[in-house]
Amino acid sequence: MRTGTLLGVVALGVLACGDRAPGADDVVGVYRADLPGIATPGRGVTLELGVGNTARLAIDYQDGGGPVLESGTWFLSPAGEIRVVLARDGLGPVTTDVTFRWARAALTAVAFDTVRWGGRGFSLARE
């Protein structure tokens, strides 16, 4: 009985470590995805979460023009969700406000503008 209890405690400890909320150092990095386009063949999306809570987003609409660039900040909630708030050229009104759930290799959008990003949601893979 005692061995079973010890194994149960060890198993719970391993699960808790794997499910812990990320720290800022965990999420800093570059995340990317190729998403379907609405009026273009597709969208190449690159999000960089930098040290000091800086964020940069580049969206290439694959229409022959250059990428649309946005910059701003990201915030990490105590629950481990990452909120990214951006504006074009880092100025003016907010153009992107997305909350992601973090996993070691990806960010999955959990709150976002469904008109801009589509109703199905999206994930960005860590490069």
pTM to 2 decimal places: 0.82
Residue 1 has a pLDDT of 44
* Mean pLDDT value across the chain: 85
- For residue range 86-113, list pLDDT tens digits in order: 999 777 889 999 999 999 889 999 999 9
Q: What is the mean pLDDT of residues 54-69?
A: 92
- Phi, psi (degrees; rounded to nearest 5) at 113: -80, 110
Are residues 57 and 73 in contact, defined by beta-carbon separation less than 8 angstroms? no
User: Could you tell me the two tokens for 91?
Assistant: 């100025």
Q: What is the mean pLDDT of residues 37-52?
A: 91
CATH of domain 22-126: 2.40.128.640
Residue 8 has a pLDDT of 39
Where exactly are the structural domains of the chain?
Answer: 22-126
Q: Which amino acid is at 6?
A: L
Task: Look at 83 and 5; give whichever has higher pLDDT.
Answer: 83
User: Could you tell me the two tokens for 7?
Assistant: 């194994």
